[in-house]
Each structure stands twice: as C-alpha cells, then as structure tokens.
A and B are shown apart, each in its own frame.
Chain A
Amino acid sequence: MRFGTMFSDIVSSLLRRPITELYPVERRATPDRLRGQLHWDWEACTGCSLCAKECPAQAVDLIVIDKKAKQFAMRYHTDRCIYCAQCVVNCRFGCLEMSSDEWELASANKDPFTVYYGDEANVEAALADRAD
C-alpha cells in the first residue's frame, strides 16, 4: 500500500510532448494494408459478379454493357462500403484492390460517394442507363 503509484508517469509526461497527434495538421503514414477506397481494373474483369453478389453492404454494382464483348462498368458507393475486402478476396482475376492512402472520404454532399469505374464509353453508357 502506497500513494501516488502513477507519480513516475506524471513526471515523465511533464518533460515530454503530448502523445496526441493534432490531425489534420499532423498526418501519419498509413500502413500498407489499410483498406481504403476500392479500385477496379476493368481490363481483367470477366464479369462473374462474385464481388457484387457477396458484398455485405451492396456497395458494388457491376453493370453489364455487353456480356459477349466483356464490356462492363462498375458503380461503387463509398458511403455504403464497409471496407471489409470480401470482394477483393472473391475476385479470382485480381481486378479489385483497396487503396491504402485514399481513406479521407468525407464529403459535405453526396455526389462524391458514387464512383464510376470502367472505360469512358462504358461509364457513359452506365450513366445514361441510370438517367432513364
């Protein structure tokens, strides 16, 4: 039984900088494995849709433009995504990956939350489809 067992910590803290990081003034590097925004490499995609089928949050829509010609587009909702990487695990062709530095995805309006991937013509086709 004694008093002030934390006294040594108190003294050492007084001589040290606070541990708190003043985000966003100070930013620390993110680890390589951090799961940020999803990216899609449309050239390797075969359109199996396993990414969309097993997405727990319905954050990924694979839009089929032309199945035979293997033309697809992807609509990705960053606000629905729970960053679990199940789609990345599911993709047998390695077309999906999660960025480790795009993680500051907050926005004041909802527009940036819907991201389209694919080559230009396919994205336009997907957008036109949506407009109808």
Chain B
Amino acid sequence: MTETEKFSIPIGPQHPALKEPEHFVFSVDGEMVTSASVRLGYAHRGIEKSTENRNWAQNLYLLERICGICSHTHALTYCLGVEKLAGVEIPPRANAIRTLVAEMERVHSHLLWLGVAAHEAGFDTLFMYSWRDRETIMDLLEQLTGNRVNYSANVLGGVKFDVDEELAGAILDGLDYLEKRTYHYLDVVTTDAAFLQRTRGVGVMSAERAERLGVVGPTARASSVARDVRIDAPYAGYDEYVPNLIGHTTGDLEARFEVRIKELFESYRLIREILATIPEGELTSRMPRRIKANEAFSRVEAPRGEVFYYLRSNGSDKPDRIKVRTPTLCNMASVLTLVIGQQLADIPMILVGVDPCFSCNDRMVAINRGGRSEEVWTWERLRQYGIDYYGGSH
C-alpha cells in the first residue's frame, strides 16, 4: 500500500470519543490500525507563564485549575513545592486532611474514569451507574470542602478547614455504600462476558515496554511496573498512611480496569484510617509572603500518575519559574504504540485506558536543535503567523 492509498481516520479535535480537543490520525487497513500519530496543544492556556505575574497565593488557585478532576492534586503539588522552597513545616493534622482530600479525589476520579471507559465500550448502563454512585463522593467532598470540584482545600502552609465528628460519620457512611458498589463493579468488569470481549487481551503492554515508554500511574501498575509516588517518595501524610501497591501482570485493558477499581478499596481503607487516627493540632503554619531565591521540585501521585512541579523563586512575592508535567503526557506515547495492530473499534478504549486529561497536558515545549536562534515574537507577529498558517493551508 502506498502512502496515498492509506485510509486515515481523524479523531479530534472535535469527536464524540474525546471530551477534550486533541488531534489523532489513525491509518487503517479495513478495520485494522496500521499507524497512529498525535498532535497536542489545542488546549494550551499559557498557565506556566501566567504564574510569573501572580503572587504565590494567587498561583495556588490558578494552578488548581489546570485540571478539573485532579484539582486538589495540582494544588497539593504546588503547596508542597512552595513550602519546601520557603522551608515551612506543615502541622500533622493539616497533612492528614490533605491526604484525606487527595484520597477522596482519587475515588471520584476513578469512578469517573470507570464511567467514561464503559461509555467508550458502548456499555452505557455501567456508565450511568458509576456516575450515579460518584455523586456520593462528590456530595461528601462538597460537605467537607464547600465545593464539588476545585475544592481549594489548601492554603500555603496548611489547609482551610477541619474535619469534625459529624462529617467523619457522613464520610464513613458514604464509604460503606461506595465499597458495596465497588465490589459490584469489580464483579461486572471481571465477569461480564459482553464487556470482557472488549477488554480482555486488548491493548496489551508488557512491563518492558511500559518501562521503555516511561508510563506512569495505574497504567504502569497494570503492566506490573511497581511505580507509585505515594510509596516511592511519600509526601504529605503518606509516610503515616501507607497505601498498598495494586499491581497486575497482564497489562491489557481488563488489568487497567481491575487496578483502578482495586485502588478504590485501598483509598477507602486509607480514608477510614485517616479519620480514625487523625492527629490533633493546628491547621496552618505561618507562611512568608516573599520567598528568597531558591529552587525546589515536588512530586505527587495523581489519580492518573505522577504529577511533577519544578519551582524557582527569586526573592519576590512572585515565582520566577514554574514548570508542570502531568501524567497524561507520559502516557501518551503508550497510546500511539498500543493501537497499532488493534481494531478501529478499540481505539477509543485504548485511548481512554490511560485516563487521558488533555487540557492538563498541553504545555509549550521549546526544542533547541543545536542552533542558538532565540527571538521574542510580538503579539502582532504571532497573530499574523497564525492567520497565515491557517489561511495558507486552504
């Protein structure tokens, strides 16, 4: 088959399988995928640059909005980094509450993912039910933090609110219901014959390949790569509340379902443990407004994998540079290699199997190919370039 005879399927930037704009091109031979490519960057928002014009406290809320689903993760990563920069110790109770919200967020994110993945497989009933039950944890998060998404649980130096007996009781009740439902979902995804047709043996990634592609999070753990920041480099309260690593050996879509659902049980256990043994004490430490020149990084295990922040201060009340790397970027390469040789119908499933969050991962990267040609473009020139670029292609 020559290049011109290839039948290519564009998926995105607008496509029902994608909830966010990203462009994939798959070449197919009949229903078989022969090659794949991706173009990222449709949702580039310039957040990293914007942080340089806001003070440390304001950036917390800007960075929290990188992702709508793991908003607490981003706020937490940022807070951990800034606290490390400023050398501020966080009270243990604040750390426990941060961990609590992080685990509750993982529950809501994994249930959301379960629904989305089921929808991609054409199993809308599972989608509706898992999202119905997700409302339980969303309501609890709202009771605890005052908001369903973008909880803003953190402030620099601690957390905003406390957990009392009444709330702890409500959370435990909610968890009992969710745990029952999660056992049911585990049963569904591991035994339903129609659903297993779409997941078992599809998109298999070996441990070597996962290592080579630098895959993170549950996607890596499903391919028996033991990688979890909560265990490898404990942060916040995770040195006290230690999660067990949930792994799987088969590395197919079914394994990714199983790993994520079993992680839910681990989260329930951690939440119960935190509520039972939460240390007494202050909720915040004092935080300086200006931070002397320094640099730091922080890593947090988001529901999708490792989030990495690099921060540099210059003595003012604003950061000098903040660099963000989200797990979706690490997992993107695996999608492109896994779809080769699979059916066209499996593409959405494999894509969603890594739990992508495109808008979070769109960030500008400047690649310097040896030559030192650096220049600053004015807004006008950039605008004209855009007009020429898109106008010229038609």
Contacts and interface: CB of A to CB of B under 8 A. Distances in A.
A, B assembled together:
yes
Interface of A: 1-6, 9-10, 19, 31, 33-35, 53-57, 82-86, 89-90, 98, 100
A6 B145 contact: no
26 contacts: A1-B193, A2-B192, A3-B192, A3-B193, A3-B194, A4-B192, A5-B187, A5-B192, A9-B129, A19-B132, A33-B145, A34-B147, A53-B55, A55-B58, A56-B57, A56-B58, A56-B60, A83-B147, A85-B146, A86-B57, A86-B58, A86-B152, A89-B155, A90-B57, A98-B146, A100-B146
B126 A6 contact: yes
B384 interface: no
B161 interface: yes
Contacts of A19: 132, 135
Contacts of A10: 125
Interface string B137-153: 00000111111001010
A103 to B, nearest CB: 10
- The interface residues of chain B, by DSSP majority, are classed as helix
B57 A54 contact: yes
Contacts of A55: 58
Interface in B107-165: 125-126, 129, 132, 135, 142-147, 150, 152, 155, 160-161
B147 A6 contact: no
- The interface residues of chain A, by DSSP majority, are classed as loop
A89 B61 CA distance: 14
Interface of B: 54-55, 57-62, 125-126, 129, 132, 135, 142-147, 150, 152, 155, 160-161, 184, 187-188, 191-196
A84 B61 contact: yes
Given A2-B192, A2-B193, A5-B191, A31 B143 contact: yes
Nearest to B62: A56
A1 B155 contact: no
Enumerate the 6 nearest inter-chain pairs by beta-carbon distance, A residue then B residue, closest first.
A33-B146, A56-B61, A56-B58, A5-B192, A31-B143, A54-B57
